């Protein structure tokens, strides 16, 4: 098959081990639950030994506790290990990188987190290849074969925007992943997306739940015939029931909710029976207080990242672990996700809808901001709030720049006010959201839908 040959070639050209690793890990979910747990614990023990030996921050944590990695023999022992927070990462970033790491080869990641708290951290190439392999393994569930085309709904970056049309098309075709830009969403864009979908004939749709949902709702409303796919994999934000319903009808395929984060990747994926299974070879998960009833904040340990390990990392998402058993045959433990990343898209008078993720990107690389939020108060007005760190300076220029970038989304039709504040109030769900659209909430309320 040509697709498979191109897919293999594309990996070889960029020196990616993802396809080889994919072959190694594809059978892991079929292992018996006991074997899954045994391997997971062995990986965790190996990570702790590595952290103690090579990572200055963790070496100090072990010294302060007066124990070594080999003293952590049970989950209860591990539960006494300190939690890693965003504040610790910001304060101790360089000490979290393993000695002997070639820093020039690390990939810098920036995240608004799930809560509008900016963070900078690093992944190495091996972990990134593994992460790609984990994504391919998720796709296997609906019958995807390596090399079949993937429609990828994900925010464009500067590198993609700088490409010529020809380079962009060649690159998408070779990589077997065609990227659609959720930062440009309007009926006219959806018309173009439809033409492209018919041309590139994907078997998988992958990306932001709200963008895929919005396109599907447009297709159903206008009667546009969308090409049928094998499966839809929604990530980066909560998949709402009405989005799931629309995309499953429009694309005539099952939607799978995928749970990951930039910091700890490939955390869990829904199976064909709709149960979230933890990817136990990638992640060791705990909840903050297992004795309490109901959803609890997750503490996540990434088992594949050696250059900058995240051990018992609190990422602000909530859920329950091990609450039930799924009959699908997977040996990976079942879990429930209750609160995860939610962002509102913003809609403008010119018909353009911009995915909330666009706004997070405006704070990428900005130092000195502890938390931020974009609030669309009316079709023509956006407010940007940012809480500065104590010693921050130069933020007035940053805020003025962000104001300019926001107003450029709908020139002449949009005003933006950007302010530094001492606090940002939390939503009714108790969680901070990095975008809030009062326009969308009013429309939802009028339509009788929960926001
Ligand atoms: Zn299952």
DSSP string of 107-157, one letter each residue? EEEEE-TTTT--EEEEE-HHHHHHHHHHHHHHHHTTT--TTS-EEEE----
Q: Tell me: the pLDDT tens digits for 364-413?
A: 878 888 888 999 999 999 999 999 988 788 899 999 999 999 999 998 99
Query: Which pLDDT value is given to residue 449?
Result: 63
Say how many Å lie between the CA of residue 326 and the centre of ligand 1: 5
- CB 204 within 8 Å of CB 143: no
- pLDDT over 60 at 114, yes or no: no
Higher-scoring residue by pLDDT: 341, 296: 296
223: left (phi over 0), alpha (psi -120 to 50) or beta: left
Measured in degrees and rounded to the nearest 5, phi and psi for residue 291 equal -80, -20
Say how many Å lie between the CA of residue 276 and the centre of ligand 1: 7
- CB 51 within 8 Å of CB 309: yes
Domains and CATH numbers, the chain: 2-31+124-339 (3.40.50.12780), 346-446 (3.30.300.30)
Question: pLDDT exceeding 90 applies to what percent of the chain?
Answer: 69
Query: Which pLDDT value is given to residue 312?
Result: 98
Say how many Å lie between the CA of residue 44 and the centre of ligand 1: 24
Say how many Å lie between the CA of residue 146 and the centre of ligand 1: 22
Say how many Å lie between the CA of residue 332 and the centre of ligand 1: 8
Say how many Å lie between the CA of residue 43 and the centre of ligand 1: 23
Q: Helix (H, G, I), strand (E, B), or coil: what is residue 56?
A: helix
- pLDDT over 90 at 341, yes or no: no
Q: Tell me: the pLDDT tens digits for 256-279?
A: 999 998 899 999 999 999 999 999
Query: Which pLDDT value is given to residue 451?
Result: 42
Higher-scoring residue by pLDDT: 236, 82: 82
Alpha-carbon gap, residue 136 to 376, rounded angstroms: 36
Say how many Å lie between the CA of residue 273 and the centre of ligand 1: 5
- pLDDT over 80 at 197, yes or no: yes
Query: Which pLDDT value is given to residue 27?
Result: 96
- pLDDT over 80 at 448, yes or no: no
- pLDDT over 90 at 222, yes or no: yes
List CB contacts of 253: < 8 A, sequence separation 6 or more.
142, 205, 228, 229, 230, 231, 232
Say how many Å lie between the CA of residue 266 and the centre of ligand 1: 16
Query: Which pLDDT value is given to residue 432?
Result: 66
Average pLDDT on 216-234 reads 97
Q: Tell me: the pLDDT tens digits for 119-156?
A: 889 999 999 999 999 999 999 999 999 999 999 999 88
Q: Tell me: the pLDDT tens digits for 93-109?
A: 899 999 999 999 999 88
Higher-scoring residue by pLDDT: 46, 423: 46
Alpha-carbon gap, residue 136 to 70, rounded angstroms: 34
Say how many Å lie between the CA of residue 298 and the centre of ligand 1: 20
Say how many Å lie between the CA of residue 4 and the centre of ligand 1: 28
CB hemisphere CA count around 314 (13 angstroms):
16
Least confident of 19-23, 88-92, 295-299, 364-368: 364-368
DSSP 291: T
Say how many Å lie between the CA of residue 31 and the centre of ligand 1: 13
Average pLDDT on 46-74 reads 98
Say how many Å lie between the CA of residue 270 and the centre of ligand 1: 7
Say how many Å lie between the CA of residue 369 and the centre of ligand 1: 41
Give the mean pLDDT of the chain. 91
Least confident of 57-71, 86-100, 396-410, 433-447: 433-447
Say how many Å lie between the CA of residue 240 and the centre of ligand 1: 20
- pLDDT over 50 at 40, yes or no: yes
Say how many Å lie between the CA of residue 140 and the centre of ligand 1: 14
Say how many Å lie between the CA of residue 330 and the centre of ligand 1: 6
Output the CA torsion 96→99→100→104 (10° steps). Answer: 30
Query: Which pLDDT value is given to residue 428?
Result: 55
Query: Which pLDDT value is given to residue 138?
Result: 97
């Amino acid at each position: 098959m040509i697709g498979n040959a191109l897919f293999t070639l594309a990996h070889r050209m960029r020196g990616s081990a993802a396809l080889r690793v994919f072959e190694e890990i594809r059978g892991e979910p079929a292992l018996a639950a006991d074997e899954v747990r045994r391997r997971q614990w062995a990986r965790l023990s190996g990570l702790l030994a590595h952290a103690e030996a090579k990572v200055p921050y963790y070496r100090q944590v072990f010294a302060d506790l007066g124990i070594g990695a080999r003293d952590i023999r049970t989950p209860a022992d591990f539960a006494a290990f300190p939690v890693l927070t965003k504040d610790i990462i910001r304060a101790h970033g360089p000490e979290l990188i393993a000695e002997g790491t070639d820093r020039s080869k690390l990939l810098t990641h920036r995240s608004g987190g799930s809560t509008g708290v900016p963070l900078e951290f690093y992944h190495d190439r091996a972990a990134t290849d593994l992460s790609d392999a984990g994504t391919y393994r998720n796709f296997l569930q609906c019958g995807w074969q390596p090399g079949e085309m993937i429609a990828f709904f994900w925010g464009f970056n500067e590198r993609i925007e700088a490409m010529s049309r020809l380079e962009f098309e060649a690159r998408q075709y070779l990589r077997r992943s065609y990227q659609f830009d959720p930062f440009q969403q309007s009926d006219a864009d959806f018309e173009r997306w439809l033409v492209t979908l018919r041309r590139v004939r994907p078997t998988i749709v992958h990306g932001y739940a709200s963008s895929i949902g919005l396109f599907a709702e447009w297709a159903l409303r206008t009667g546009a015939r969308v090409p049928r796919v094998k499966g839809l994999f929604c990530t980066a934000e909560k998949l709402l029931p009405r989005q799931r319903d629309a995309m499953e009808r429009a694309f005539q395929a099952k939607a799978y909710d995928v749970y990951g984060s930039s910091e700890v990747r490939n955390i869990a994926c829904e199976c064909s029976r709709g149960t979230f299974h933890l990817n136990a070879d990638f992640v060791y998960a705990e909840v903050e207080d297992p004795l309490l009833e109901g959803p609890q904040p997750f503490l996540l340990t990434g088992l594949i990242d050696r250059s900058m390990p995240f051990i018992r990392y609190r990422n602000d998402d909530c859920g329950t672990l091990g609450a039930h058993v799924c009959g699908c045959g997977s040996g990976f433990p079942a879990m429930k996700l209750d609160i995860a990343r939610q962002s509102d898209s913003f809609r403008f008078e010119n018909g353009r809808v911009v995915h909330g993720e666009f706004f997070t990107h405006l704070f990428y690389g900005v130092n000195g901001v502890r938390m931020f939020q974009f609030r669309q108060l009316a079709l023509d007005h956006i407010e940007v709030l940012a809480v500065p760190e104590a010693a921050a300076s130069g933020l007035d220029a940053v805020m003025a720049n962000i104001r300019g970038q926001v107003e450029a989304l709908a020139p002449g039709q949009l005003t933006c006010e950007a302010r530094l504040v001492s606090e940002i109030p939390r939503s009714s769900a108790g969680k901070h959201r990095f975008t809030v659209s009062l326009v969308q909430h009013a429309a939802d309320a009028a339509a009788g839908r929960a926001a």
